[in-house]
Chain A
Amino acid sequence: MTTEPLLSVRDLTVSFDTDDGLVQAVNGVSFDVHPGETLAVVGESGSGKSVTAMATMRLLPRSARISGSITFDGRDLLSLSDREMRRIQGEDIAMIFQDPMTALNPVFTVGNQLAEAIRIHHPDVSKKAASERSIELLEIVGIPEPRIRVENYPHEFSGGMRQRAMIAMAIANQPKLLIADEPTTALDVTIQAQVIEVMRKAQEATGAAMILITHDLGLVAGVAERVQVMYGGRLFETGDTGTIYYRSRNPYTQGLMRSIPTFAKRTDERLSPIPGSPPSAINLPAGCSFRPRCEFAEAICRDEEPALRPLDPAGAHQSRCHFAEELPDFSQRTAEVAG
């Protein structure tokens, strides 16, 4: 990529002081997001993907200890005052939340909330103009009869419609960056693809870059240009979507891939889940944090934490594994398993 990155996160570390000890939620994460591109951040619960997003949005509680830097559009977000940050929130960076049931205010009409999102940043826009724009926004996200719907309360919307309304709210001010935190997790499977499609459309309409946070690798394919996989607060692998899908060089990513159900799989073939659970963020295992669950683990994995290493000259594909080069290709391995 030759363009200047829109968002540049360097060595981001977030920890929380709890009664049980220091929780390392995010540990030395660095990545870039370029204008207009979509980056998917994939990982299990507790991998630190949401905390990374919340840190970028500056929405973490004050008790969070944050170090590193987050540069957006040439400004270091972590050193801005609350007032300066509020000018960016909702205007330049907007967020789509996981649960549309609770992320909309139950006592205001959808139109009211859309207008509010606009008028927070543009108090000079008249109520009438804001309401017209709300109708337009609902139309962009494909809500039928937007002129009537704009007067409805959130509980009069279905789950998918609410999430579409949230997307409309997020793009209200034409942000440069959209952060979608598990936008489809709370929705029915049949609605998920619709919502992803609406997000893609919304992104197209505004030209915004997007960080799509999800635990569902399957959702990522048609949407994101790049994928980064997180585990235990660390980046485990990053690369172009195609590279990650076909030539993953990380046992954890490959484990995630194998746990995606596909119609192409034979019915007698069982899904192979990754054994065990994600590590506790309080007490990460020594060496590679994935070691206890990894089928390739050897002595070195316990003694030495692997670094995130570039696997091609451009450094577009990076993996955190001692055996990144020796790992069998994912396609070959599934072939073996399938027999």
Chain B
Amino acid sequence: MSEQPRPEEAHTGDPGLVTAEADAEPTTRALSDDVIVDEREGMTISTRSFGRQTWDRFRRHRLAMFAAALLVLLAISFWVAPMLSSYGFRDIDVAAMREGPSFRHPFGTDQIGRDLLVRTFHGGRFSLRIALVVALLTTFIGTVIGSLAGYFGGIVDTLLSQLINLFLIVPALVVLLVVGVRYGASPNGIAVILALLLWPAIARVVRGLFLQFRDQEFVLAARAAGARPPRIIVRHILPNTFGPIIVNATLLIGTAIILESTLSFLGVGVTPPTPTLGNLVNEAKGAIDSRPSTILIPGGFVVLIALCVNFLGDGLRDALDPTTRKG
């Protein structure tokens, strides 16, 4: 008896399993408000939106929640507290120079009698503003250059990578000192200089991510669907890189605050009498033995802000990645 491999037998399983008609009979039932069980596919479906899921994941990250709350609190107090005081950050109280903390001046006064609470909070305001501008500007420049280098590769990548390396080997502190002496007057000027020095770090991260995603099948699929390169870069690949970019951007806020403080401490940052957390430490450096609180308070704010943004970045990274689903 001869045995022929008949075409019908080569089929595995019953091809009639999936039909549009079969769907007339529901295969799903609701488990709770936002979870549905699909019995035919053997899996649960969540009906929560992306925003809702992100928020739920973020909320579970206690440290990040705490850091976010603290940052908001700090930002609000930086804006509101100076308004409640009767002193401006330039006002001199000749009757109270080099005073320790008192009811009238809770953080004390500096050597020419300016209220340190008002100056610290104003300083926090300027420091935070500089840091935010630096983070935004750096992320923008770094993302644009990094994505172009990573996506197009070849000669574009070679040129841009050399540019990145060129900026990376520039001794940042020396440039900052030189440029700072010449242009470092305004908070915005400092922010631009810092951004010009910090973007290569972001660009390298973004370039690496684009190299990784460029050859993935979903990018090939996008090309097969007829999408143009700008669309592929912006709509298909970039959203996949948001997580790491946001983490790096938040880390930058910390870096920028510290760098700005360093600059101001060295005396080439924002020019007095405009206070920043950094030049407050600078002004008080002579008083480290007599009145350490004048250094510890602004210095403590620098550390606190840098810590908070790092925890916040951590939480955001976990929350923004839709594939990390822990319930």
Chain A positions near chain B (C-beta within 8 angstroms): 57, 59, 86-91, 94-95, 97-99, 102-109, 116-117, 120-121, 139-140, 142, 144-145, 148-149, 151-153, 155-156, 158, 160-161, 164, 166, 169, 189-190, 192-194, 196-198, 201, 217-222, 241-242, 245-246, 257, 260, 262-266, 330-332, 334-335, 338
Contacts and interface: CB of A to CB of B under 8 A. Distances in A.
Contact of A59 (B22, B220, B323): B220
A6 to B, nearest CB: 18
B43 A158 contact: yes
A85 B15 CA distance: 35
B47 A148 contact: yes
Contact of A197 (B6, B15, B42, B217): B15
B17 A217 contact: no
Contact of B9 (A59, A109, A139, A263): A263
B12 A142 contact: no
A31 to B, nearest CB: 20
Contact of B23 (A142, A169, A190): A142
B273 interface: no
Contact of A87 (B15, B27, B38, B226): B226
Contacts of B171: none
A155 B323 contact: yes
Contact of B14 (A102, A107, A193, A266): A193
Given A97-B217, A189-B13, A218-B11, A145 B28 contact: yes
Given A144-B26, A192-B12, 12 more contacts: A109-B50, A116-B225, A120-B225, A140-B20, A148-B45, A152-B46, A158-B43, A166-B221, A194-B13, A245-B6, A245-B7, A262-B10
B10 A217 contact: yes
B226 A91 contact: yes
A180 to B, nearest CB: 12
Chain A's interface: helix, strand, loop or mixed, by majority? helix
B50 A90 contact: no
Contacts of B20: 139-140, 142, 201
A81 B240 CA distance: 29
A121 B224 CA distance: 12
A57 B224 contact: yes
22 contacts: A86-B226, A89-B225, A91-B226, A97-B221, A107-B239, A139-B20, A144-B27, A148-B47, A149-B45, A152-B46, A155-B325, A169-B221, A193-B15, A201-B19, A218-B5, A219-B11, A221-B8, A222-B8, A222-B11, A260-B10, A262-B10, A334-B3
Contact of A145 (B18, B45, B325): B45
Nearest to A161: B41
B10 A189 contact: no
B12 A155 contact: no
Interface in B53-80: none
A196 B227 contact: no
B226 A144 contact: no
Contacts of B228: 86
Interface in B307-327: 322-323, 325
A198 B17 CA distance: 10
